[in-house]
């Protein structure tokens, strides 16, 4: 039997709309059909159409979306897709990704996700392991990967391309051709799609998401329709969001965080502005003016760092006002976290600070943001509190691919920075004797595809999923994640070090930081690798007599090292003696997804990085 703390549930005083939970749909297809019927003329999606003169945002209603999704879904049926047959999507985040996924859902198939950055050999593994019959490919680049592995993936009957033209053979089709195929199929059988939806069972396979994996070969996480319908109704029941919200969605849809944000609108009804171009996020926020957005911590760190350095470069009165307003805002943020409001002089000062600085900061994000949602990695508390000070709360959540994203999330009315909130309704949390976080709920995976051994290692006989994360619960029931169990290490002096929290703290202190990689297992002290944000450090260089220098020249300079040392000293001042960073190396390049050093969701591949830069790390202990 499991030896662990008592389970932690959603607090009894948490207002939950039980009627929403009781009305959980049978499948994602059922959710979609119900949403179309409930709000046919309301906007479902906004997507950018790129012209030479600029981007044009096109609005699609739920009724208009229904027509397209049914045509593509019927096209998949015509191509031979049967219930639970896998259909892969190899594409960046875009409107067509959503169309393809919904079409798979109404056809009764199971979506298999592939990051567009995935190397050909891993694409081959995913397509083969999942036994995908059809693959949606974004463009010529993705199509070329699939052509190269065609001999190794004979189960693939067709490839459907979003951009470009199909091959002259019968292996590839365009999205328009599949729609036409679906229209013809529906002429002969108008009720085909509804029949497929009616036949989908609650426990039927809906999705296989292959974990990008910080180590080893990816594992295919099998998520049933019940996982997605639960996630949607559980979030809806907390009343965090309403149909009057507007989401901006740029996250990779091959990642579970992005995928769940694609599913929530089916239950709640809010529209989604979708555009995966990361370099367009800031511009698009000003145009779209969303009320909320999900993001990985790195996005918030970069925005915070950029605004900080911009204000510092301005100098003079502007810089002083910014510093003053940030300080006042943080005081108010601390009160709000305790459920209080500012009074007296602080209330007056905050009103002035918000009018002078806060409103201008919010304008950069479209002026209407109610909150952001942060997930996939630890968020620095100082960064989170600064956004709150500027009137844009960040709700941190926690979950895994194996739990179909969110298991816990902060509420706008109840949160504590440094924690990941309360469990969603009906999700249970326990802390094992060794500190590992255990989860049980309807969002948990069925298991790993074709990997019963890994499934048995992750889900115990009592149904608890072992997350591999170390955590604790505070007196208000908020969950705090300390670190990944496998990432924590012991120095040769026998002291434990949790690297993730140290790394997140540094990125909140240093506005020029991109990555900090803490190292020191079985060593007599802790050291680190540092990378700097290329955009931010170029601005710093221009202010320090190095304008026009290359990234390598800048980070290799004595001035840059002294600057980083100052921030390391600040970091060390808040750490235990055995955690302090005694030596560090600034790498001549940033870590990237393309070089395999970060996952597509921007998580550090610690083992890959430590092996790649073994020489630099070893040098810390030999000199």
* Predicted pLDDT of residue 11: 67
* Predicted pLDDT of residue 176: 96
What is the chain's alpha carbon radius of gyration, rounded to the nearest angstrom? Answer: 25
Identify the residue with better confidence: 40 or 5. 40
- What's the mean pLDDT in 598-605? 81
* Predicted pLDDT of residue 213: 53
Least confident of 33-37, 58-62, 176-180, 481-485: 481-485
- What's the mean pLDDT in 424-429? 94
Residue 560, helix vs strand vs coil? helix
Output the CA torsion 437→440→442→447 (10° steps). Answer: 80
The rounded percent of the chain whose pLDDT value lies above 90 is 77
The rounded percent of the chain whose pLDDT value lies above 70 is 96
- Does the structure show a pLDDT above 50 at 1? no
Instruction: Read off the pLDDT band of 216 (50, 70, 90).
Output: low
- How big is the CA angle at 139 (ends 136 and 145), to the nearest 5 degrees? 75
* Predicted pLDDT of residue 119: 87
Strands (E), 37-186: 43-51, 54-61, 86-90, 110-114, 134-137, 158-161, 172-174
Predicted TM-score (pTM) of this structure: 0.87
- C-alpha span between 430 and 437 (Å, rounded): 6
- Does the structure show a pLDDT above 50 at 118? yes
- C-alpha span between 183 and 189 (Å, rounded): 10
CATH 3.30.300.30 boundaries in the chain: 489-619
* Predicted pLDDT of residue 380: 86
Instruction: Read off the pLDDT band of 5 (50, 70, 90).
Output: low
User: What pLDDT, in 10s, does the model give residues 273-289?
Assistant: 999 998 899 899 999 99
Alpha-carbon distances, residue 171 vs 141, 179, 423 (angstroms): 16, 16, 46
- What's the mean pLDDT in 316-327? 92
Q: 281 Cβ partners below 8 Å, 6+ apart? A: 248, 250, 299
Contact 359, 324 (CB under 8 A): no
Q: What count of residues does the chain have?
A: 623
- Does the structure show a pLDDT above 80 at 13? no
DSSP string, 378-433: PPPHHHHHHHHHTT-EEEEEEEEGGGTEEEEE-BTTB--TTS--EEPTT-EEEEBT
* Predicted pLDDT of residue 12: 60
Contact 376, 255 (CB under 8 A): yes
Structure tokens at 246: 């507007």
How high does pLDDT run on average in the chain? 92
- Does the structure show a pLDDT above 90 at 316? no
User: What pLDDT, in 10s, does the model give residues 237-246?
Assistant: 999 999 999 9
Kindly state which CATH superfamily the domain 489-619 is placed in: ANL, C-terminal domain (3.30.300.30)
- C-alpha span between 520 and 527 (Å, rounded): 6
- Does the structure show a pLDDT above 80 at 4? no
- C-alpha span between 288 and 57 (Å, rounded): 9
- Does the structure show a pLDDT above 90 at 602? no
User: What pLDDT, in 10s, does the model give residues 132-148?
Assistant: 999 999 999 999 999 99
* Predicted pLDDT of residue 3: 45
Instruction: Read off the pLDDT band of 189 (50, 70, 90).
Output: very high
- C-alpha span between 123 and 142 (Å, rounded): 10
* Predicted pLDDT of residue 214: 47
Instruction: Read off the pLDDT band of 6 (50, 70, 90).
Output: low
295-367+370-484: CATH topology: Rossmann fold (3.40.50)
- Does the structure show a pLDDT above 90 at 235? yes
User: What pLDDT, in 10s, does the model give residues 483-541?
Assistant: 888 888 888 888 889 898 899 899 989 999 999 999 999 899 999 999 999 988 998 99
User: What pLDDT, in 10s, does the model give residues 342-394?
Assistant: 999 999 999 999 999 999 999 999 999 999 999 888 888 889 999 999 999 99
User: What pLDDT, in 10s, does the model give residues 563-572?
Assistant: 999 999 999 9
Tell me the CATH number for domain 27-200. Answer: 3.40.50.12780
CATH 3.40.50.12780 boundaries in the chain: 27-200, 295-367+370-484
């Amino acid at each position: 039997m499991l030896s662990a703390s008592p389970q932690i549930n959603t607090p009894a005083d948490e207002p939950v709309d039980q009627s929403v939970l009781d009305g959980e749909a049978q499948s994602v297809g059922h959710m979609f059909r119900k949403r179309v019927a409930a709000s046919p003329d309301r906007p479902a999606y906004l997507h950018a159409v790129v012209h030479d003169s600029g981007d044009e945002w096109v609005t699609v209603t739920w009724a208009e979306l229904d027509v397209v999704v049914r045509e593509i879904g019927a096209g998949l049926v015509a191509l031979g897709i049967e219930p639970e047959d896998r259909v892969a999507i190899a594409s960046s985040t875009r409107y067509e990704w959503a169309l393809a996924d919904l079409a798979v859902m109404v056809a009764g198939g199971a979506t298999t996700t592939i990051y567009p950055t995935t190397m050909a050999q891993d694409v081959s593994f995913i397509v083969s392991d999942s036994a995908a019959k059809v693959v949606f490919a974004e463009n010529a680049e993705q199509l070329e990967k699939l052509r190269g592995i065609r001999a190794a993936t004979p189960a693939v009957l067709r490839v459907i391309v979003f951009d470009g033209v199909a091959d002259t053979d019968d292996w590839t089709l365009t999205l328009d051709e599949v729609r036409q195929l679906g229209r013809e199929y529906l002429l002969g059988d108008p009720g085909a799609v509804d029949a497929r939806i009616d036949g989908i069972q609650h426990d039927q396979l809906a999705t296989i998401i292959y974990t990008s994996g910080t180590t080893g070969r990816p594992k295919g996480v099998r998520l049933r329709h019940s996982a997605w319908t639960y996630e949607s109704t559980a979030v809806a029941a907390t009343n965090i969001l309403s149909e009057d919200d507007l989401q901006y969605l740029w996250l990779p849809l091959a990642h579970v965080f992005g995928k769940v944000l694609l599913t929530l609108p089916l239950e709640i009804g809010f529209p989604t502005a979708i555009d995966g171009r990361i370099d367009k996020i800031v511009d698009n926020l000003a145009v779209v003016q969303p009320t909320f957005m999900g993001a990985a911590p790195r996005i918030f760190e970069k925005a915070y760092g950029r605004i900080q350095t911009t204000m510092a470069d301005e100098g003079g009165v502007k810089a002083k006002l910014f510093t003053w307003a940030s300080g006042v805002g943080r005081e108010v943020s601390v009160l709000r976290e305790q459920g209080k409001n500012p009074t007296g002089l602080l209330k007056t000062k905050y009103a002035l600070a918000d009018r002078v600085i806060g409103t201008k900061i919010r304008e950069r994000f479209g002026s209407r943001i109610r909150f952001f949602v942060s997930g996939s990695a630890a968020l620095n508390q100082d960064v989170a509190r600064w956004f709150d000070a500027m009137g844009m709360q960040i709700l941190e959540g926690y979950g895994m691919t194996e739990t179909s994203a969110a298991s816990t999330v902060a509420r706008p009315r109840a949160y504590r920075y440094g924690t990941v909130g309360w469990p969603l309704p009906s999700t249970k949390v326990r802390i094992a004797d060794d500190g590992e976080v255990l989860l049980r709920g309807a969002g948990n995976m069925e298991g790993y595809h074709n990997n019963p051994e890994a499934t048995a290692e992750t889900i115990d006989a009592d149904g608890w999923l072992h997350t591999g994360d170390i955590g604790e619960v505070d007196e208000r029931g908020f969950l705090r994640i300390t670190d990944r169990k496998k990432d924590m290490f012991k120095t040769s002096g026998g002291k434990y070090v949790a690297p993730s929290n140290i790394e997140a703290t540094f990125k909140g202190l240093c506005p020029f930081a991109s990555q900090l990689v803490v190292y020191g297992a079985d060593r007599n002290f802790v050291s680190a690798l540092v990378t700097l944000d290329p955009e931010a450090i170029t601005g710093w260089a221009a202010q320090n007599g190095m304008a026009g220098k290359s990234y390598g020249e800048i980070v290799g300079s004595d001035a840059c090292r002294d600057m980083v040392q100052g921030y390391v000293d600040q970091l060390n001042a808040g750490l235990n003696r055995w955690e302090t960073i005694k030596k560090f190396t600034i790498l001549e390049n940033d870590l990237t997804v393309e070089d395999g050093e970060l996952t597509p969701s921007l998580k550090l591949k610690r083992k890959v990085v430590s092996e790649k830069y073994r020489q630099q790390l070893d040098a810390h202990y030999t000199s």
